[in-house]
Amino acid sequence: MQFKFLHNNFNVFDLDKSLKFYHEALGLKEVRRHNAKDGSFIIVYLGDGSSQHQLELTWMRDMDRPYNLGDNEFHLAFSCNDYEAAHKKHKEMGCICFENEAMGIYFIADPDGYWLEILPVKK
């Protein structure tokens, strides 16, 4: 028996704002979308164009407040072939929420407060 990663899910409060952020910050693009027939939810899958792993963003119509992420001890990690340019871009966007220069990594936060780790490509 073998398992394969398919996707991770984040519930988002403002789908359009999140889609814009993920495209601008990480270059993720919509792969497919599912709209509930009754309008109660929308699921959008985002891909990076190179791996099969996807990020599933779920918007719920009846959610009337931003999600409570607790202590936010979870994150997704992304590698980048131009770490310095990515850091500059994210600094300009104002989305860097934590840096560990000794480890050579930093984290950005999306509009809902989910943390995304940015690492340089290992050489």
Query: Which of the residues are catalytic?
Result: 117
Q: Are strands 54-60 and 41-47 parallel, antiparallel or unpaired?
A: antiparallel
d(Cα 94, Cα 97) in Å, to the nearest integer? 8
d(Cα 111, Cα 88) in Å, to the nearest integer? 19
For the stretch 17-21, contacts whose Cβ atoms lie closer than 8 Å and that sit 24 or more positions apart, written own/partner, are 17/111, 18/57, 18/110, 18/111, 18/112, 19/44, 19/46, 19/57, 21/95, 21/110, 21/111
